[in-house]
Amino acid sequence: MAYSSLEEQELNEIKSWWKENYKSLIAAVIIGAGGVFGWRFWQDYQMSKAQQMSAQYEQAVYSNVDATTKNTQIDAFVKEHSKTGYATLALLEKAKSAVQNQDFSQAEVALKDSMAQAPDEILSSIAGIRLAEIQLQQDKFDEVLSTLNLVKDATWESRKNVLTAKVQLAKGDKATAKQTLESVLKNGSALEQQEVKVLLNNL
């Protein structure tokens, strides 16, 4: 099982946005909390910290080592940089590698950790959608629905409906699944609409 093109595109956009806006987010917090007093010190400190975290992230995630060593590196990075966007992204990469190795149990654990580490609903929702996909792969239908309830970012509403409909189909509720899928035809992306048409044709 591979992640959808939409999920990969969203994750890449989040990575790019995070790298470009991390410093400005810190600046907004500092200015809002204490004006410009001491700003130059904080600016230098936070820039250095952000650069260091980015370099450590790249090393943990993209170093050319075996899977076991890489997972150990990612776990250490997450422990050091808990509750940050980088920690969330690192765990998403860990889950992706697990999926590629067909280790869905490990992927599920990594994605749950990723949701817990997420500093905002955007990253939490990305991890949640991927977790629901993994749970669906393992026929954990009730867990899929519970996970989808935790996905709050409206960007993923259509994807949530697709996954919900798949659970409904698996449980034999074709009528409700059809209604759920038809809602995606109105609001979903081109890729989602294409997937939905295939599912509807097979009802």
41-72 confidence digits (pLDDT tens): 445 545 666 778 888 888 998 888 999 999 99
pLDDT average, residue stretch 163-177: 95
Report which of residues 8 and 142 the model is more confident about. 142
Lowest mean pLDDT among 5-9, 81-85, 145-149, 153-157: 5-9
Q: What is the DSSP string of 44-87?
A: HHHHHHHHHHHHHHHHHHHSS--HHHHHHHHHHHHHHTTTSHHH
Report which of residues 16 and 193 the model is more confident about. 193
With 80 as the cut, is the pLDDT of residue 172 above it?
yes
Alpha-helical segments (H) within the chain: 5-34, 39-62, 67-80, 85-100, 104-117, 121-137, 141-148, 157-170, 174-187, 190-201
Nearest Cα neighbor of 56 from 70, 72, 77 is 77
Q: Is the dihedral of CA 165, 168, 173, 176 positive or negative?
A: negative
Q: Tell me: the pLDDT tens digits for 22-43?
A: 555 555 554 555 555 454 544 5
Mean pLDDT, the chain, as a whole number?
A: 84
Q: Tell me: the pLDDT tens digits for 94-142?
A: 999 999 999 999 999 999 999 999 999 999 999 999 999 999 999 999 9
Q: Can you give the pLDDT at residue 42?
A: 46
